[in-house]
Structure 1
Amino acid sequence: MPAPAPRFTPRLRLDPPRLADVPDLFAFMGDPAAMAHTHPRQSLRDCRRYVAVHERQRRRTGFAPWTIRERDGGRIVGWGGLYEDIFDPGWGVEVVYFFHPAVWGRGYATELTRAALAFGREQGLAAVVAFAHPDNRGSRRVLEKSGFVEDRYLPALDRSFYRLALAP
Protein backbone atom coordinates (compact mmCIF):
# COMPACT_ATOMS: atom_id res chain seq x y z
CA MET A 1 0.00 0.00 0.00
CA PRO A 2 1.51 3.38 -0.98
CA ALA A 3 2.12 6.00 1.69
CA PRO A 4 -0.76 8.44 2.13
CA ALA A 5 -0.36 11.67 0.21
CA PRO A 6 0.42 14.83 2.14
CA ARG A 7 -2.41 17.20 2.94
CA PHE A 8 -2.10 20.96 2.79
CA THR A 9 -3.64 23.91 4.58
CA PRO A 10 -2.86 27.53 3.69
CA ARG A 11 0.30 27.51 5.86
CA LEU A 12 0.94 23.87 6.76
CA ARG A 13 1.90 20.58 5.15
CA LEU A 14 0.62 17.45 6.91
CA ASP A 15 2.63 14.29 6.30
CA PRO A 16 2.61 10.81 7.79
CA PRO A 17 5.60 10.84 10.16
CA ARG A 18 8.87 9.21 9.14
CA LEU A 19 11.49 7.93 11.55
CA ALA A 20 13.75 10.76 10.37
CA ASP A 21 11.17 13.22 11.81
CA VAL A 22 11.43 11.87 15.35
CA PRO A 23 14.38 13.99 16.59
CA ASP A 24 12.57 17.18 15.52
CA LEU A 25 9.32 15.92 17.08
CA PHE A 26 11.10 15.00 20.31
CA ALA A 27 12.47 18.55 20.55
CA PHE A 28 9.01 19.64 21.75
CA MET A 29 7.21 16.37 22.54
CA GLY A 30 9.96 15.56 25.04
CA ASP A 31 10.05 19.05 26.54
CA PRO A 32 8.20 19.11 29.90
CA ALA A 33 7.48 22.85 29.55
CA ALA A 34 6.04 22.48 26.04
CA MET A 35 3.98 19.49 27.16
CA ALA A 36 2.96 20.93 30.54
CA HIS A 37 -0.72 20.02 30.04
CA THR A 38 -0.11 16.46 28.89
CA HIS A 39 2.51 13.70 29.01
CA PRO A 40 5.95 14.44 27.54
CA ARG A 41 7.84 11.67 25.82
CA GLN A 42 10.57 10.43 28.15
CA SER A 43 13.29 9.73 25.61
CA LEU A 44 14.00 9.74 21.91
CA ARG A 45 13.31 6.00 21.92
CA ASP A 46 9.96 6.55 23.67
CA CYS A 47 9.04 9.21 21.09
CA ARG A 48 10.01 6.88 18.23
CA ARG A 49 7.83 4.13 19.70
CA TYR A 50 4.91 6.52 20.24
CA VAL A 51 5.04 7.72 16.62
CA ALA A 52 5.48 4.17 15.27
CA VAL A 53 2.50 2.84 17.24
CA HIS A 54 0.30 5.54 15.73
CA GLU A 55 1.61 4.84 12.23
CA ARG A 56 0.58 1.19 12.64
CA GLN A 57 -2.83 2.52 13.58
CA ARG A 58 -2.94 4.57 10.35
CA ARG A 59 -2.45 1.36 8.36
CA ARG A 60 -5.32 -0.25 10.27
CA THR A 61 -7.85 2.62 10.49
CA GLY A 62 -6.78 5.06 7.77
CA PHE A 63 -5.91 7.90 10.13
CA ALA A 64 -3.31 8.91 12.69
CA PRO A 65 -1.51 12.13 13.62
CA TRP A 66 0.62 13.83 10.99
CA THR A 67 4.00 15.50 11.17
CA ILE A 68 3.12 19.17 10.77
CA ARG A 69 5.49 21.29 8.68
CA GLU A 70 5.37 24.92 7.69
CA ARG A 71 4.73 25.07 3.96
CA ASP A 72 7.21 27.90 3.71
CA GLY A 73 10.54 26.20 4.38
CA GLY A 74 9.32 22.78 5.53
CA ARG A 75 10.33 23.17 9.18
CA ILE A 76 8.67 20.63 11.51
CA VAL A 77 6.51 22.59 13.95
CA GLY A 78 4.02 20.05 15.30
CA TRP A 79 2.42 16.65 15.40
CA GLY A 80 -1.32 16.08 15.35
CA GLY A 81 -4.52 15.00 13.69
CA LEU A 82 -7.13 12.32 14.30
CA TYR A 83 -6.56 9.11 16.19
CA GLU A 84 -8.10 6.59 18.52
CA ASP A 85 -6.01 6.62 21.67
CA ILE A 86 -4.62 3.11 21.90
CA PHE A 87 -3.17 3.86 25.34
CA ASP A 88 -6.56 4.95 26.75
CA PRO A 89 -9.17 3.43 24.41
CA GLY A 90 -12.92 3.83 24.40
CA TRP A 91 -13.35 7.57 23.87
CA GLY A 92 -13.80 7.48 20.10
CA VAL A 93 -11.89 9.30 17.40
CA GLU A 94 -10.02 12.20 18.93
CA VAL A 95 -8.24 15.25 17.58
CA VAL A 96 -4.84 15.81 19.16
CA TYR A 97 -2.06 18.34 18.56
CA PHE A 98 1.32 19.24 19.98
CA PHE A 99 3.32 22.21 18.71
CA HIS A 100 6.78 23.61 19.21
CA PRO A 101 6.54 26.61 21.58
CA ALA A 102 8.24 28.80 18.95
CA VAL A 103 5.02 28.69 16.88
CA TRP A 104 2.44 29.01 19.66
CA GLY A 105 -0.05 31.81 19.06
CA ARG A 106 0.15 31.68 15.26
CA GLY A 107 -3.15 29.84 14.77
CA TYR A 108 -1.52 26.62 13.58
CA ALA A 109 -3.48 24.47 16.03
CA THR A 110 -6.77 25.83 14.71
CA GLU A 111 -5.61 25.34 11.11
CA LEU A 112 -4.58 21.76 11.87
CA THR A 113 -7.81 21.00 13.76
CA ARG A 114 -9.98 22.25 10.91
CA ALA A 115 -7.98 20.17 8.41
CA ALA A 116 -8.33 17.11 10.64
CA LEU A 117 -12.10 17.64 10.88
CA ALA A 118 -12.38 17.98 7.10
CA PHE A 119 -10.46 14.71 6.77
CA GLY A 120 -12.80 13.11 9.32
CA ARG A 121 -15.80 14.16 7.25
CA GLU A 122 -14.16 12.68 4.14
CA GLN A 123 -13.70 9.44 6.08
CA GLY A 124 -17.39 9.41 7.04
CA LEU A 125 -16.86 9.89 10.77
CA ALA A 126 -19.99 10.82 12.69
CA ALA A 127 -18.22 12.65 15.53
CA VAL A 128 -14.84 13.63 16.90
CA VAL A 129 -13.88 14.20 20.53
CA ALA A 130 -11.08 16.11 22.23
CA PHE A 131 -9.64 16.71 25.66
CA ALA A 132 -8.16 19.86 27.16
CA HIS A 133 -6.67 20.56 30.53
CA PRO A 134 -8.66 23.28 32.35
CA ASP A 135 -5.57 25.53 32.56
CA ASN A 136 -4.79 25.21 28.86
CA ARG A 137 -6.75 28.24 27.67
CA GLY A 138 -5.13 28.16 24.23
CA SER A 139 -6.21 24.60 23.51
CA ARG A 140 -9.69 25.19 24.87
CA ARG A 141 -10.02 28.20 22.58
CA VAL A 142 -8.83 26.19 19.55
CA LEU A 143 -11.51 23.58 20.20
CA GLU A 144 -14.26 26.17 20.68
CA LYS A 145 -13.27 28.07 17.51
CA SER A 146 -13.38 24.76 15.64
CA GLY A 147 -16.96 24.05 16.77
CA PHE A 148 -16.37 21.67 19.68
CA VAL A 149 -18.68 21.90 22.68
CA GLU A 150 -17.53 21.07 26.18
CA ASP A 151 -19.45 17.99 27.29
CA ARG A 152 -18.15 17.61 30.84
CA TYR A 153 -15.18 17.81 33.15
CA LEU A 154 -13.55 14.46 33.96
CA PRO A 155 -11.96 14.73 37.43
CA ALA A 156 -10.11 11.40 37.12
CA LEU A 157 -8.30 12.73 34.03
CA ASP A 158 -8.25 16.39 35.10
CA ARG A 159 -9.49 17.20 31.60
CA SER A 160 -12.52 18.69 29.98
CA PHE A 161 -14.11 16.41 27.40
CA TYR A 162 -15.27 18.02 24.16
CA ARG A 163 -17.45 16.64 21.40
CA LEU A 164 -18.26 17.68 17.83
CA ALA A 165 -20.79 16.00 15.53
CA LEU A 166 -19.52 15.82 11.94
CA ALA A 167 -22.64 14.46 10.28
CA PRO A 168 -24.54 17.14 8.34
Structure 2
Amino acid sequence: MVSPGRDGSSQPDVLRTPRLSLRRPVPADAAAVLQILSDPAVARHHPSELVTELDDVEALVRRWLGHWEQHGFGNACVFEEGTGLLVGNAGVRWTTVDGGRGLNLMYRFSPATWGRGYATEAADGLLGWVRAALPDELVVARIRPANLSSQRVATKVGLRRDPDLDAQGDDGVEWAFTNRS
Protein backbone atom coordinates (compact mmCIF):
# COMPACT_ATOMS: atom_id res chain seq x y z
CA MET A 1 0.00 0.00 0.00
CA VAL A 2 1.31 3.45 -0.86
CA SER A 3 0.51 6.76 0.81
CA PRO A 4 0.81 9.63 -1.66
CA GLY A 5 2.04 12.91 -0.25
CA ARG A 6 1.00 16.39 -1.24
CA ASP A 7 4.20 16.72 -3.24
CA GLY A 8 3.44 13.60 -5.30
CA SER A 9 6.02 11.29 -3.74
CA SER A 10 5.08 8.20 -1.82
CA GLN A 11 6.91 5.50 0.10
CA PRO A 12 5.34 2.09 0.56
CA ASP A 13 3.67 1.82 3.95
CA VAL A 14 5.97 -1.18 4.49
CA LEU A 15 9.43 -1.23 2.95
CA ARG A 16 11.04 -4.67 3.21
CA THR A 17 14.70 -5.60 3.22
CA PRO A 18 16.05 -9.13 3.62
CA ARG A 19 15.84 -9.03 7.44
CA LEU A 20 13.80 -5.93 8.27
CA SER A 21 10.51 -4.24 7.61
CA LEU A 22 10.23 -0.48 7.83
CA ARG A 23 6.72 0.86 8.24
CA ARG A 24 4.89 4.04 8.94
CA PRO A 25 4.70 4.50 12.70
CA VAL A 26 1.45 4.28 14.63
CA PRO A 27 0.79 5.91 18.02
CA ALA A 28 0.97 2.51 19.74
CA ASP A 29 4.68 2.28 18.73
CA ALA A 30 5.62 5.08 21.14
CA ALA A 31 6.38 2.84 24.15
CA ALA A 32 8.77 0.63 22.14
CA VAL A 33 10.38 3.70 20.55
CA LEU A 34 10.88 5.14 24.05
CA GLN A 35 12.81 2.01 25.06
CA ILE A 36 15.31 2.75 22.28
CA LEU A 37 15.52 6.55 22.34
CA SER A 38 15.80 6.71 26.15
CA ASP A 39 18.99 4.64 26.11
CA PRO A 40 21.96 6.96 26.77
CA ALA A 41 24.11 4.87 24.40
CA VAL A 42 21.72 5.67 21.53
CA ALA A 43 21.92 9.40 22.30
CA ARG A 44 25.66 9.44 23.01
CA HIS A 45 26.48 11.50 19.92
CA HIS A 46 23.26 13.55 20.09
CA PRO A 47 22.56 14.12 23.80
CA SER A 48 19.85 16.68 23.03
CA GLU A 49 17.83 13.85 21.42
CA LEU A 50 17.67 11.74 24.58
CA VAL A 51 14.02 11.28 25.55
CA THR A 52 12.92 9.79 28.84
CA GLU A 53 9.18 10.50 28.97
CA LEU A 54 6.46 8.69 27.06
CA ASP A 55 4.66 12.01 26.44
CA ASP A 56 7.74 13.30 24.60
CA VAL A 57 7.95 10.21 22.40
CA GLU A 58 4.22 10.36 21.67
CA ALA A 59 4.73 13.96 20.48
CA LEU A 60 7.72 12.82 18.39
CA VAL A 61 5.67 10.06 16.75
CA ARG A 62 2.93 12.63 15.99
CA ARG A 63 5.56 14.80 14.24
CA TRP A 64 6.75 11.77 12.26
CA LEU A 65 3.15 11.05 11.25
CA GLY A 66 2.62 14.67 10.26
CA HIS A 67 5.53 14.42 7.82
CA TRP A 68 4.04 11.19 6.42
CA GLU A 69 0.63 12.83 6.01
CA GLN A 70 2.07 15.86 4.28
CA HIS A 71 4.69 14.17 2.09
CA GLY A 72 3.84 10.46 1.84
CA PHE A 73 7.09 9.33 3.45
CA GLY A 74 9.15 9.93 6.55
CA ASN A 75 10.62 8.35 9.63
CA ALA A 76 9.66 4.68 9.92
CA CYS A 77 9.67 2.11 12.69
CA VAL A 78 12.02 -0.76 11.93
CA PHE A 79 11.09 -4.35 12.82
CA GLU A 80 13.06 -7.58 12.65
CA GLU A 81 11.31 -9.83 10.15
CA GLY A 82 12.04 -12.99 12.14
CA THR A 83 10.87 -11.78 15.55
CA GLY A 84 8.54 -8.88 14.78
CA LEU A 85 10.35 -6.80 17.41
CA LEU A 86 10.67 -3.04 16.95
CA VAL A 87 14.44 -2.58 16.87
CA GLY A 88 14.85 0.99 15.67
CA ASN A 89 13.68 3.84 13.54
CA ALA A 90 15.02 5.09 10.26
CA GLY A 91 13.80 7.33 7.51
CA VAL A 92 14.16 10.31 5.25
CA ARG A 93 12.46 13.64 5.74
CA TRP A 94 12.64 17.05 4.14
CA THR A 95 15.16 19.43 5.64
CA THR A 96 17.00 22.60 4.72
CA VAL A 97 20.50 22.02 3.38
CA ASP A 98 22.71 25.01 2.64
CA GLY A 99 19.67 27.22 2.04
CA GLY A 100 17.98 24.68 -0.25
CA ARG A 101 15.85 21.59 0.12
CA GLY A 102 17.19 18.13 0.77
CA LEU A 103 16.34 14.82 2.39
CA ASN A 104 17.77 14.04 5.79
CA LEU A 105 18.60 10.34 6.19
CA MET A 106 18.59 9.11 9.76
CA TYR A 107 18.80 5.81 11.61
CA ARG A 108 18.67 4.87 15.29
CA PHE A 109 18.72 1.29 16.60
CA SER A 110 18.58 -0.55 19.89
CA PRO A 111 22.10 -1.24 21.18
CA ALA A 112 21.09 -4.92 21.47
CA THR A 113 21.10 -5.02 17.65
CA TRP A 114 24.32 -3.08 17.01
CA GLY A 115 26.86 -4.92 14.89
CA ARG A 116 24.25 -6.86 12.89
CA GLY A 117 24.23 -4.49 9.91
CA TYR A 118 20.65 -3.35 10.48
CA ALA A 119 21.43 0.36 10.10
CA THR A 120 23.19 -0.30 6.80
CA GLU A 121 20.36 -2.52 5.57
CA ALA A 122 17.67 0.02 6.50
CA ALA A 123 19.61 2.98 5.06
CA ASP A 124 20.29 1.08 1.83
CA GLY A 125 16.59 0.21 1.48
CA LEU A 126 15.58 3.81 2.06
CA LEU A 127 18.13 5.11 -0.45
CA GLY A 128 16.86 2.59 -3.00
CA TRP A 129 13.39 4.06 -2.56
CA VAL A 130 14.78 7.63 -2.87
CA ARG A 131 16.67 6.73 -6.06
CA ALA A 132 13.45 5.36 -7.58
CA ALA A 133 10.93 7.94 -6.31
CA LEU A 134 12.97 11.14 -5.88
CA PRO A 135 16.08 10.58 -8.02
CA ASP A 136 17.13 14.21 -8.30
CA GLU A 137 16.95 15.03 -4.60
CA LEU A 138 19.98 15.69 -2.43
CA VAL A 139 20.28 13.22 0.45
CA VAL A 140 22.31 14.16 3.50
CA ALA A 141 23.17 12.20 6.62
CA ARG A 142 24.40 14.53 9.37
CA ILE A 143 26.91 12.69 11.54
CA ARG A 144 29.02 13.81 14.47
CA PRO A 145 32.79 13.49 13.81
CA ALA A 146 33.23 10.98 16.66
CA ASN A 147 30.41 8.70 15.44
CA LEU A 148 32.55 6.33 13.41
CA SER A 149 29.87 3.61 13.24
CA SER A 150 27.36 5.94 11.62
CA GLN A 151 30.02 7.21 9.22
CA ARG A 152 30.71 3.61 8.15
CA VAL A 153 26.99 3.06 7.52
CA ALA A 154 26.81 6.21 5.36
CA THR A 155 29.81 5.23 3.25
CA LYS A 156 28.65 1.61 2.87
CA VAL A 157 25.37 2.82 1.33
CA GLY A 158 27.19 5.09 -1.12
CA LEU A 159 27.16 8.49 0.59
CA ARG A 160 30.33 10.53 0.52
CA ARG A 161 31.81 13.01 2.98
CA ASP A 162 30.76 16.48 1.77
CA PRO A 163 32.58 19.08 3.93
CA ASP A 164 30.95 21.98 2.06
CA LEU A 165 27.64 21.04 3.74
CA ASP A 166 28.90 20.54 7.29
CA ALA A 167 26.74 22.39 9.79
CA GLN A 168 26.42 23.30 13.44
CA GLY A 169 23.84 21.07 15.12
CA ASP A 170 22.29 21.23 18.58
CA ASP A 171 25.13 19.13 19.97
CA GLY A 172 28.06 20.49 17.98
CA VAL A 173 29.51 20.21 14.50
CA GLU A 174 27.82 17.68 12.23
CA TRP A 175 29.60 16.34 9.21
CA ALA A 176 27.60 15.92 6.02
CA PHE A 177 27.61 12.70 4.03
CA THR A 178 25.66 13.09 0.79
CA ASN A 179 24.75 11.55 -2.54
CA ARG A 180 26.00 14.73 -4.29
CA SER A 181 28.61 14.19 -7.00
Q: Does TM-score exceed 0.5, indicating one fold? A: yes
| RMSD of aligned residue pairs (Cα, Å) | 2.2
For structure 1, which segment, 42-51 or 107-116, has the greater mean C-alpha deviation from structure 2 after superposition? 42-51
Partners of 2:179 and 2:44 lie apart in 1 by 25
CA offset digits 1:73-122 (Å, max 9, x no partner): 10000001111249xx9662111011000000100000000111011122
Change (3 A) 1:158 1:91: farther
Which of these residues, 108, 113, 116, is aligned with residue 123 of structure 2?
A: 113
CA contact (8 A) 1:148 1:162 kept: yes
Partner residue, 2:6: none
**1:2 CA drift (Å):** 7.4
State the one-letter code of the partner of 1:52.
Answer: R
**Aligned 1:2-81 pairs, distance under 5 A:** 4-38=12-46, 39-81=49-91
CA contact (8 A) 2:25 2:64 kept: no
Partners of 1:21 and 1:155 lie apart in 2 by 31
Partner residue, 1:146: 157
Partners of 2:90 and 2:142 lie apart in 1 by 13
Partner residue, 1:161: 176
Unaligned runs of 5+ in 2: 4-11
The aligned length equals 164
CA offset digits 1:6-34 (Å, max 9, x no partner): 11100001111111111111101122222
State the one-letter code of the partner of 1:12.
Answer: L
Unaligned runs of 5+ in 1: none
Partners of 2:100 and 2:36 lie apart in 1 by 27
Partners of 1:60 and 1:151 lie apart in 2 by 29
Query: What SS does the corresponding residue of 2:90 show, helix, strand or coil?
Result: strand
Partners of 2:94 and 2:52 lie apart in 1 by 21
TM-score, normalization: structure 1?
Answer: 0.88
Change (3 A) 1:29 1:73: same
Change (3 A) 1:57 1:94: same
